[in-house]
């Protein structure tokens, strides 16, 4: 199991009082130094899996290890979790929060000061450290949440929807920070509902639904399955005449202005020429964007169909 940063085999978990398992025989291999995406709808079992991996829930059945150390062992000095909630004290300043968590991690005064400066810099918090965390914007709170998780310089970092509910700028700061962490060799397990973000950041991913892994692969391999053939168009004016002209490309529209087509990349220039010939003025064009979202929805739909059929 030691070739992977995290290895999980046959993990099953049921909460006290529940009639069904929250996780069924989960198998995962998370490569060392990678950013691993964990996707799934609400209630799919992502948080349960993160809690088991981070050691905040006790393993009931199966095996789980960080490197060679079982997750039931002493993994706390090499792992950290950044929960979805603002897991800090709003009545303390940003600096006081960082100092407290550094103290709890057992860092010496000097090491704590170094790490606080580094983490605050990485998360672009240095200018607001003296302010009470409760007065921070949602984006600053998310960044403080992340900075606290990084204090102990963990080898494994679990990020539970670290960009949910914040503005684009703060999201970009966090994404940039995670990009920067990649070069340090840290392994990141990342859950998010933002597919573009996952697609941009993650090397490998697993999709969880109803407690089961429905897909697990490298990002490239997963995206190749669908080929990235979607073309999204927004025209300046509605053009009903295009319906017949684009029929060969499985074109769909909502109001003759927004179109979605399926075509390989080689046919892209031909379609653009066709549009120009019909006098279509393109306001916005996207090709191959949100491919992961489509795969994700398709996989979940397949899972639902199977359940309905069984």
Partner 1 sequence: MMLRQLTAGVRKELVLLCRDWHALGLLFVMPLAFVLVMSLAMQDQFAARAGRKISVVVADNDGSEASKALVAALQDGAAEIHLADTPNVDELKVVLRRGKSAFAVHIAAGYGAALANVQEPLANHVVLAVAPDTSKQTEMIFLGTLREIMARERLNALFAPLALLSRAQGGQDIAFDTDTARPAVEYVYRAGKISQAPSAVQQSVPAWLVFGTFFIVIPLSNTLIRERQQGTARRLRTLPVSQGVLLAGKLAPYFVVNQLQVALMLLVGCFLVPALGGEALQLNGSLPALVLAAIAVSFAALGYALLIASIARTTEQASLLGGAGNLILAAIGGIMVPKFVMPEAMQQLTAISPMAWGLEGFLDVLLRDGKVGDVANEAAALLLFGIAMLALAWFTQARRAES
The residue ranges that bind partner 1 (CB under 8 A) are 15-18, 51, 54-58, 74, 76-77, 79-89, 91-92, 96, 99-108, 148-149, 152
Q: Which tokens go with 179?
A: 């990009």
CB of 145 to partner 1, least distance (A): 9
CB of 87 to partner 1, least distance (A): 4
CB of 78 to partner 1, least distance (A): 9
CB of 302 to partner 1, least distance (A): 32
Pick 51 or 64: Cβ nearer partner 1 = 51
Query: How many other C-beta atoms can be found within 10 angstroms of the C-beta atom of residue 156?
Result: 22
Pick 190 or 259: Cβ nearer partner 1 = 190
CB of 112 to partner 1, least distance (A): 9
Q: Distances in Å between the alpha carbon of 184 and those of 32, 153, 178, 225?
A: 12, 10, 10, 31
The whole-angstrom distance between residue 297's C-alpha and the CA centroid of its chain comes to: 15
Pick 153 or 268: Cβ nearer partner 1 = 153
DSSP annotation of 52 reads H
CB of 149 to partner 1, least distance (A): 8
Closest C-alpha to 24, from 193, 192, 209, 159: 209
The whole-angstrom distance between residue 253's C-alpha and the CA centroid of its chain comes to: 30
E strands in 55-141: 61-66, 69-70, 79-82
Closest C-alpha to 157, from 86, 104, 87, 79: 79
CB of 139 to partner 1, least distance (A): 18
Pick 161 or 199: Cβ nearer partner 1 = 161
CB neighbour list of residue 17: distance below 8 Å, 6 or more residues apart = none
Pick 161 or 197: Cβ nearer partner 1 = 161
Pick 107 or 261: Cβ nearer partner 1 = 107
Pick 101 or 296: Cβ nearer partner 1 = 101
Query: How many other C-beta atoms can be found within 10 angstroms of the C-beta atom of residue 99?
Result: 19
Cβ atoms of 204 and 37 within 8 Å: the answer is yes
C-alpha–C-alpha distance, residues 122 and 230, integer Å: 36
Pick 103 or 238: Cβ nearer partner 1 = 103
Cβ atoms of 105 and 154 within 8 Å: the answer is no
CB of 86 to partner 1, least distance (A): 6
Q: Distances in Å between the alpha carbon of 303 and those of 19, 212, 215?
A: 21, 10, 11
C-alpha–C-alpha distance, residues 277 and 92, integer Å: 63
């Amino acid at each position: 199991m030691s070739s992977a940063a995290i290895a999980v085999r046959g993990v099953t978990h049921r909460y006290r009082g529940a009639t069904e398992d929250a996780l069924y025989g989960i198998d995962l291999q998370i490569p060392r130094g990678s950013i691993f995406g964990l996707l799934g709808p609400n209630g799919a079992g992502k948080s349960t899996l993160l809690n088991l991996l981070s050691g905040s829930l006790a393993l009931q059945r199966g095996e789980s290890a960080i490197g060679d150390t079982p997750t039931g062992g002493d993994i706390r000095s090499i792992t950290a979790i950044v929960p979805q909630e603002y897991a800090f004290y709003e009545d303390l300043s940003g600096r006081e929060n960082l100092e407290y968590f550094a103290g709890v991690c057992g860092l010496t005064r000097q090491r704590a000061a170094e790490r606080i400066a580094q983490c605050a810099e990485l998360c672009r918090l240095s200018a607001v450290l003296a302010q009470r965390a409760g007065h921070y914007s949602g984006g600053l709170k998310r960044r403080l949440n992340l900075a606290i998780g990084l204090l102990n310089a963990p080898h494994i970092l679990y990020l539970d929807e670290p960009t949910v509910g914040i503005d684009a700028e703060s999201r970009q700061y966090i994404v940039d920070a995670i990009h920067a962490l990649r070069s340090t060799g840290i392994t990141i397990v990342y859950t998010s509902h933002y597919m573009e973000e996952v697609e941009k950041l993650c090397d490998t991913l697993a999709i969880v639904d109803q407690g089961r892994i429905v897909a697990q692969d490298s990002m490239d391999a997963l995206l190749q399955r669908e080929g990235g053939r979607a073309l999204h168009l927004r025209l300046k004016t509605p053009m009903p005449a295009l319906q017949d002209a684009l029929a060969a490309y499985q074109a769909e529209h909502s109001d003759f202005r927004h179109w979605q087509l399926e075509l390989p990349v080689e046919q892209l220039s031909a379609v653009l020429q066709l549009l120009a010939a019909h006098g279509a003025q393109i306001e916005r064009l996207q090709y191959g964007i949100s491919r992961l979202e489509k795969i994700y929805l398709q996989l979940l739909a397949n899972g639902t169909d199977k359940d309905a059929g069984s």
